[in-house]
Structure 1
Amino acid sequence: MGIGGDSFLVNVIENEVVHAKEPWVDHWLPFTNFDLLVPPFDIGSIFFYKKPSHENFPTIVNTLKASLSRALALYPPLAGETAWNEAAGENQIHCNNRGIYFIEAVADVVLKELDFYKPDECIEGKLMPKKLRHGVLGIQVTKLKCDGIVIGVMVDHRVVDGYSANMFISTWADMTRSKTPSMIPSFGRTHLKPRSPTFYSPLIDNVFAPFLPPPSQPDDDTGIDYDNYRLVNRVYYIEGEQLNKLQLLANENGCRRSKLVAFTSFLWKLVALSMENSGKQNQSCNVIIAVDGRRRLSEKEEKEKQKLMASHFGNVLSMPYGSKTPQELNEMSLCNVATEVQEFLKPATTKEHFLDIIDWVEEHKRQPLISKALVGEEITSFTVSAGQRFETMDEIDFGWGKVTFGSCHVPSSRKDCFVMTMGSPKNNEDWIVYMHMPLKHTSFIEEHASHVFKPFDTDYIQI
């Protein structure tokens, strides 16, 4: 399967701060109303490459730092920090070119020995960087014993969503190859301002809510199985044939469902079965689907507005969700669960929905906000995000060839459950699935759905 982090060492050669290339302008950038819906946590991306055919590692590192400095000049928030703006009376992004940590390292392990299936053991604390305190971005470039290259990127989720992170990394890769970036980012705020007067559908109250800290819990932890419910990271692949079968089952009632809806429905039932197996059949089981609003907000707009939304750098997400008890879900067929998923997802795919979110946040922005699916006690919630549209496999080329494997990475410190589906580096029909879930659920999934969820390893990608 591969070796974990305890079996190899990583030596940091240099840890320096890279700044945006001049000229740059010191300025403050307010968070948008969509940014204010994101908790203060980080999200990472990691890319593995086979040995470059020509350049040596010192040359590669110097080239990457030089192109990064140029890329940061186009993305000033990433070289800044989150800080309190006294003049505005709110937390904002200070684009002050404080710079980012750029870590250069070497690891005494070859690419084919890495345990991709358990990234906590081979990636966490090994191949992923740390950010400057209050910083937005951190990058680590690691040379493996086989001369393969690993690039890890960690970013503050309040500043970027997956679409934006991918935009930046693609730009950095393009500029490393002396290629003109395919998209120039937009940091405008006027196209995401609330309407006057504000108004919104009451349905928004079913998607987001003010965040209230949970009441303090007693110290009596008797009976809590901490090991089984600790969050772990796992990476699987799903063969295209299995995805097609799930889609056929989800379509049994005559309504065509997407593969994402079919997959989400199947996973929702599996998590419910795991909860029921643990005696939690009467608790709530919530599934959230992240929906990007860029295309929705530009519907029937002029081309200029469409370009602004397509290149908007930041968060533009809604988080619709469904809630059922495990007992309810386990009594339903997959096609009926898919109907439930489609019903809560459909209202969040309209332009009006995202305009409503902007207005709702405007009226509630003086207090922390959160996805309503995460509110309450005695619940299990997980988010599904579709990353197939991100250019992780074919376009993130820094000049030494196609990515061998690219993935998101969730820090182990994050307490929310997260699932991302991604394209496969092997073929266009398969999916890669990244999970940040309790060990109890991943173990149950592997035991009862091993025909669908197969551990991702180097044999699959034929290293």
Structure 2
Amino acid sequence: MITIKSISIVVPSEPTPNGPLQLSESDQIMPWTHPTFIYIYRSNNNIPLSFETMNNSLSRALAHFYPLAGRLKWIEGGRLQVDCNAIGVQVLEAHSDLKLDELGDFAPTGTVEDLVPKIDYTTPIEEWPLLRVQLTRFVCGGLSVGVAISHTLVDGLSTTNFINSWAKLARGDNLDDHEIPFLDRTVLRSKQVEGLKKRANQEMGVTIRPYTRYEAISGHIWRCACKVRAIDNSHDQQTRVRLVVDARKRLKPPLPQRYFGNAIFGTVTSTCLYGDLLSNPLSYSVGKLREAIERMTDEYIRSAIDFITSQKHVGGLRSSFHIQGYTQGPFLGNPNLSLTSWINLPIYDADFGWGKPVYVGPGSLNMDGKAFLMSSVAVDGSLIIALRLQAQYMDSFKKIFYEDID
């Protein structure tokens, strides 16, 4: 059981720029809801970590990342801007009567979802905090940091940079130093990761840029999902995968290293058939994913931005993939998947003084077919996959997933 002990407002530690902040066109099509993240820490009795320390360091971080202390505001054309008013972020101090070990592998279900703060979307958008943090202590002395952060303002990389900067300040470092779907989590050992990558590239048979870990594993997930979702061997079922591509280095010139905003764009594979994916080798599905990723060139991205800019009203373009706070997320249909990679994000660098977190992951997975690919805390090349499928498919998926690797 989670008990909220207090709710406080943390404001920047020093005066910050005031007034409206215009968001980019790529920000405008992002969900106005809040994706959630969770960081789990085990107790370090040698270094007590107080909520006061956490709040003070957060206040100092907000002096640099000051837009997060503001509020969203609707403007003409269904667009949003940030009112940099330094109202502050909400911090919840909570207590759990559980031990960390009772949370299992921290897959975001039930009690784990209660470790991340909720946003009341029934209130006007001008009242929503762009950032809400929940600090939860466990009876074993462990701590979780749950974060809900506005997707309209930042993407996954920006969020990670903010959390890591906050953690540096907590340690005293200098910031300037550089049907109800069922949810589960599975682990790929480094040997299995490299095996899939090697297999996809050996099957490729041509000398082009080798497939990445992300592409090989995503292709494998896609094929396994098709196998377990097929009804009466219906191999003519159509299926597609939605992927997220980081445009920072794809733009010419590339965006600055410290760009703080949304620089991700969604891309979708061509429509494929179950039968084609299953009768062809792994390299076939991986190749379809590669085609979708390589479509995101500088020219394509700039064309997309120009199209958004040309729209009098962007409401119809805004994505709604994060529905935190609603009773049920969008259902994309059994054939399809949405795969997101956190493999290269420095998510385990968030050391608040207790050492690195033992787990970092999404606070919720809100739809059937949604998956995150993440590096593990072991830093040994192994990966974690958080996946949500309907209950009737999950056991078969896990069985096939490993059989097709080994």
Task: Give the TM-score normalised by structure 1.
Answer: 0.76
User: In the aligned structure 2, how far is the partner of 1:313 from the partner of 1:89?
Assistant: 22
Cα deviation for residue 363 of structure 1 reads: 1.9
Q: Secondary structure at the match of 2:28?
A: helix
Match for residue 313 of structure 1?
Answer: 260
3-state secondary structure, aligned to 1:135: coil
369, 372, 375: which one aligns with 1:420: 372
Q: CA deviation at 1:294?
A: 0.9
Measured at CA, do residues 432 and 182 of structure 1 come closer, stay the same or move farther in structure 2, by a change above 3 Å? farther
Tell me the CA shift for residue 280 of structure 1. Answer: 6.2
Please say if 1:124 is aligned against 2:78. no
Look up the SS of the partner of 2:205 in the other structure: coil
Aligned to 1:457: none
User: What letter is aligned with 2:351?
Assistant: D
Q: 1:236 aligns with which of 183, 186, 189?
A: 186
Q: Which residue of 1 aligns with 2:311?
A: 364
Q: What's 2:327 paired with? A: none
Distance 1:82 1:280, change over 3 A: farther
Kindly tell me: are residues 94 and 181 of structure 1, through their superposed partners in 2, closer, same or farther at Cα, counting changes over 3 Å? same
**C-alpha displacement at 1:369, in angstroms?**
0.9
Matches of 1:436 and 1:377, distance apart in 2: 12
1:290-301 matched pairs, under 5 angstroms:
290-297=244-251, 299=252, 301=253
- Of 28, 32, 42, 2:34 maps to 42
3-state secondary structure, aligned to 2:61: helix
Unpaired stretches in structure 2, ≥5 consecutive residues: 121-126, 322-329
Shift of 1:261: 1.0
Q: Partner letter of residue 133 of structure 2? A: I
Q: Residue deviations 1:112-162, cap 9 Å, x none?
A: 22122542123112x111246522111011111111111111112122110
The structural deviation recorded for 1:332 is 2.0
The TM-score, its normalising length taken from structure 2, stands at 0.86
Secondary structure at 2:347's aligned position in 1? coil
What are the within-5 Å matches in structure 2 for residues 274-353 of structure 1? 274-277=228-231, 281-297=235-251, 299=252, 301=253, 309-322=256-269, 323-348=271-296, 350-353=297-300
Quote the Cα distance in structure 1 between the aligned partners of 2:142 and 2:106.
19
User: Secondary structure of the residue that 2:60 maps to in structure 1?
Assistant: helix
Would you say 1:409 and 2:363 are equivalent positions? yes
Deviation at 1:30, TM superposition (A): 2.3
Q: How does 1:46-195 map to 2 (within 5 A)?
A: 46-56=38-48, 60-85=50-75, 90-116=79-105, 118-125=107-114, 127-131=115-119, 133-182=127-176
CA distance in 1, matches of 2:388, 2:43: 30
Q: What is the rounded CA distance, in whole Å, between the counterparts of 1:182 and 1:142 in structure 2?
A: 29
8 Å CA contact retained: 2:100, 2:138: yes
1:219 paired residue number: none
For 2:232 and 2:90, how far apart are their aligned partners in 1? 43
2:337 pairs with 1:382? yes
Instruction: Spell out the pairing of 1:257-268 with structure 2 (5 A cutoff).
Output: 257-268=211-222
Check 1:103–1:452 CA distance in 2 against 1; reply closer, same or farther (3 A cut): farther
Q: Deviations over 1:337-369 (max 9, x none)?
A: 222222222121x32232222212112361321
Identity of aligned residues (%): 24
* Structure 1: runs of 5+ lacking an equivalent: 1-8, 185-225, 455-463
- Partner of 2:249, secondary structure, is helix
* Deviation for aligned residue 1:314: 1.4
Q: Match of 1:384, SS?
A: strand
Deviation at 1:17, TM superposition (A): 1.6
What is the identity, as a one-letter code, of the residue corresponding to 1:71?
Answer: A
CA distance in 1, matches of 2:286, 2:364: 27
Structure 1 residue 379 displacement after superposition? 6.7
SS in 2 for 1:407: strand
- Residue type matched to 1:248 in 2? K
